[in-house]
Structure 1
């Protein structure tokens, strides 16, 4: 796979031409990208109706040089998709082939993940089809199943065979049930790297977090929550900083955040999961997360790890 830094240099003339032609690309984001590449591990195609052109402009405006597109699974109507309510990752996102095709059209900027509804009969065959094409991860796994179910374990075994991480959306009562038992899977599959994401994952950085129905806690944080311990105790656990839940975790207790980023500096990955179209300004959660990481990282080296180096290493880019 291509090095994102070299990708950025090769893309410079093309991007500059687009700016001169009037494409809405934030110039500061472009300049930053040339000097300091950013890998975004969490974006979606057709997110709530956003067009491909809008997605491309959004990523460039944020200064992102490499984006991993996370597909939805096949539309299905069983319990794992809440009888169809969760199709399209509950956000109208498109599936494997769309992500694959967009990445092929823009190979210097996009990579594609592999995903499928885990309890469909051919789930692992569908995922493996895109792993064979070069997908560097499985996910986003956002389905109403137990994290240690036989269906999910078949996916973990596939991830182990292909040496790719699994990105999991943890949301109490909705997706990837039984977070408290997740450690058993980490122990059973020590060669699989798991990436945690979403509300329940980030709420549980706090040792004092008891009410799991509270998905966006605003209180100060006591270190030692379940997520904090998983990151500390298991070498095969990583954290995806994306979405409103990740940004909330950064901002709710900034003193705690500085220590958390230092403590887990080799485990935290930047992702946006942002459905904005501008790529900057008050509606763009993805760019706000980048700004928060830059402001709250205890050192420049830690900032660069989170925004680029950790993902480059994990995904072997």
Structure 2
């Protein structure tokens, strides 16, 4: 099944390893003046063939952002059924993201730069078997799960159990009315599957950092944030839940209220993972949301140690990745 290098970390071991890694990295930097370009960054959320972007364009994009290792998240099989909007949402929402074979091929061609995940349409009868096949080939995450199912469906729960069995996280695209429905029922799944690491992502996840967020149809709220929203509380209350900072929804959560963002990054610095999920071919400036997210984290993190956790160390430990 899994060799020793992929041994499961208990939550206690994960926290201890995070602290040890942080101390080691910070100690190694004492007396040095490394600039940000030289510091490794792990991007946990990218896609192959994203809006027809080639592998070489993706590599150039990631290097321009300063990313040193990228996890590629595949789409599920292209099928016409209710969970894919009768096929409209194939390719992870219609963006043409590559499937399991695509991310595997890219990761094997460029093993120093890419790792890969595995995915399948949640309610396909063969979903568990398909995902297990690629986990056996070395996939390090399930997702992103981006299908029109309730997040506590029988089929979803089968994948949560599979993630625990293989000791890999599962990444959920949480979008009210469209994908992984029933955000308010997530705590039941976190409790039922305590050995499964869940990673929250997307509009409904990030909108609910605000305690005053009541209109779940509003996916990109603006303006001041009152701490204590559902997402904030879930991260505090459940040790098996982490946050993916990617996409426009993650960037919006950082920039809509910078004072709140500073406190949020401070409170959850051990639970936040950097991801880009951007489809441009530039990798810098205002045209690249992923590079803007890196800049916002560097600006708003409470200190250098927290910044390095979010951009590198948390993902390195959680996914048991090599340095850089």
TM-score over 0.5 for the alignment?
A: yes
For residue 6 of structure 1, what is the aligned residue in structure 2?
A: none
In the other structure, the counterpart of 1:46 is 49
Q: Which runs of 4+ in 1 moved over 6 A?
A: none
Q: Deviations over 1:50-96 (max 9, x none)?
A: 11111110001101000000000000111110100110002111100
- 1:261 is matched with which residue? 265
Deviations 1:87-133 (A, max 9, x none): 00021111000000000000000001010001111101110011001
TM-score under structure 1 length normalisation: 0.90
Matching of residues 53-92 of structure 1 within 5 Å = 53-90=56-93, 91-92=95-96
| Distance in 2 between residues matched to 1:71 and 1:241, nearest whole Å | 18
- Structure 2 unaligned regions, length at least 5: 7-34
1:278-313: CA deviations, max 9, x gaps?
Answer: 111211000000000000001000000000000011
SS at match of 1:118: coil
Q: How does 1:89-238 map to 2 (within 5 A)?
A: 89-90=92-93, 91-238=95-242
| RMSD value, Cα | 1.3
> Match of 1:304?
308
Aligned residues: 289
CA–CA distance in 1 between the matches of 2:36 and 2:57?
20
1:257, CA displacement in angstroms?
0.4
Residue 270 (structure 1) aligned to one of 268, 274, 282? 274
Distance in 2 (CA, whole Å) between partners of 1:306 and 1:88 is 28
Does 2:297 match 1:293? yes
Shift of 1:49: 1.2
Q: TM-score, normalised by structure 2?
A: 0.88
C-alpha displacement of 1:256: 0.3
* CA deviation profile, 1:174-197 (whole Å, cap 9, x unmatched): 000000001000000000010000
Aligned to 1:187, the other structure's residue is in SS state helix
In 1, the alpha carbon distance for the partners of 2:57 and 2:252 equals 25
Q: 5 Å matches for 1:232-247? A: 232-247=236-251
